[in-house]
Amino acid sequence: MVTLNRLSVKEPHDVSLHLPEAVEAEFRTHAAIRQADTAGRDFFISRTENAVICMLLLVGCYAAILIPAYFPLDKFALSDNQYFNQEVCMYTHQQRHPCRHDAHAQSPHFQDVLNHSASLLSGRCRRHWCVEHLKQLPCSSALTDIPVFLRREGRAAAWDESPPLGLRGSQEHLARALASLPKPGLPWSLHRGGRCTRCVVVGSGGVLHGSRLGTHIDQYDVIIRMNNAPVLGYERDTGSRTTIRLIYPEGAPSSANEYKETSIIALVVFKSLDLDWLTSIITKQPLGFWSKLWFWKDVVDDIPLKADNFQILHPDIIRRTGEVLQKYSHTQRKLRVPTLGAGAVVMALQLCDHVSLAGFGYNMQHPHARLHYYETIRMAAMKAQVVHDVSSEKLFLRQLVAAGAVSDLTGAL
């Protein structure tokens, strides 16, 4: 006989389950995690949204940095006339009329520059004008009687200096290059022959932009340009003819059309390989792959001119220019390499009786001014270069102008 001492029956609505304590604790933990995960999804953004926001921030940062650098806002509203008027107001040494910078400003300085150029061209050409006026400078003896182009014979180049100040270590390279030249040395077209000649050295300065000096520049006997400064498309400001273009391989114009109105290509030797490049250009035998690797940028393989149109600048031009510039330097340091522009001016003093400059002058006080006439790079970019001493060059050129040895057509010095 079985006795049920504690038999009880629960109400039908009481259906709660009794789980083991461990299982119940685990259940509560998972529930808490799910609740926290749901709350986290409500707080954090999705991966797609995060990627979009990051991309927008990146584009915004690049825009904030690059737009002011390449498109200064203060230049957007300037037309060509207004821009040139502003540049001449900054730089001109004549100051015949007060400059106006308001919205209603006229542009009489276009005419000022043209009148100054026209008066120089219409004046009588006097033999030995530059040499006579150089005597006012203490460095006059260093700026005269310098050979212009290398010859097979005659006064030897300086073999105690490395290029571009000399030709040390380049004897074999030079011999091959000179052998490829039919007539090395000063061409007959540049011999004065008793006549008075005028030179103009056309720089790349932004002040040339909008000058409308092209027809005046083309009237000079000798027109000197440097490197890849373009002519095509800029004839109104720069003229169309080129008598001598000073280049080194990396700076040679890439367009064949730039050589159409060019009489002489003069190589400035910065390294022995430059002479091999010239030999390949003249003989039409391309350089090897290994040689091309030593140029710091791609170089042209062909220049559509005859062998008679090539010369090699005598390194004494660069060396003597550097020595003179060192006297204008505020610090005593190793001889700095002059710009091709400064070398071209010294070369012009050897070739012509009258020398004029156009497109020269860097004014570092105006960092947003146009650096070159053919591109939008601003003056501030010059602060990054450490090869040339542009301050010394400016002092040197200013003294040449002050002494009357050269004339500054665009007034930026």
Whole-angstrom Cα distance, residue 306 to residue 309? Answer: 6
Please give the structure tokens belonging to residue 166: 């000399």
353 secondary structure, DSSP code: S
What is the reported pLDDT for 361? 79
Task: Report phi then psi at 264, rounded to 5.
Answer: -135, 130
Tens-place pLDDT, residues 98-120: 333 333 333 456 788 999 999 99
Q: Which is nearest to 313 in space by CA: 193, 170, 148? A: 148
Residue ranges of the chain with pLDDT lower than 70? 1-45, 61-109, 331-333, 362-368, 378-388
Please give the structure tokens belonging to residue 274: 């430059």
Name the average pLDDT for the chain.
80
- 406 alpha-carbon distance from chain centroid: 24
Give the other-Cβ count within 10 Å of 316's Cβ: 20
What is the reported pLDDT for 83? 40
Q: Which is nearest to 308 in space by CA: 189, 172, 160? A: 189
What is the reported pLDDT for 224? 98
Tens-place pLDDT, residues 330-373: 766 677 899 999 999 999 999 999 999 999 976 555 666 777 89
What is the reported pLDDT for 190? 92
Whole-angstrom Cα distance, residue 229 to residue 376? Answer: 14
What is the reported pLDDT for 31? 53
What is the reported pLDDT for 92? 41
Whole-angstrom Cα distance, residue 370 to residue 9? Answer: 101
Whole-angstrom Cα distance, residue 130 to residue 192? Answer: 14
What is the reported pLDDT for 272? 96
The whole-model pTM stands at 0.73
CA dihedral 171, 287, 251, 317 (to 10 degrees): 10
220 secondary structure, DSSP code: S
What is the reported pLDDT for 80? 42
Task: Report phi then psi at 354, rounded to 5.
Answer: -120, 135
What is the layout of strands, in order, in the sheet containing 262-267?
310-312, 262-267, 242-247, 222-226, 198-202, 354-358, 406-408
Whole-angstrom Cα distance, residue 34 to residue 358? Answer: 78
What is the reported pLDDT for 6? 46
Is the separation of the CB atoms in 204 and 246 below 8 Å?
A: no
What is the reported pLDDT for 47? 74
Q: Dump the DSSP string for 52-70.
A: HHHHHHHHHHHHHHHHHHH
Whole-angstrom Cα distance, residue 167 to residue 12? Answer: 113
Strands (E), 32-150: none
Tens-place pLDDT, residues 125-171: 999 999 999 999 999 999 999 999 999 887 778 888 999 999 999 99
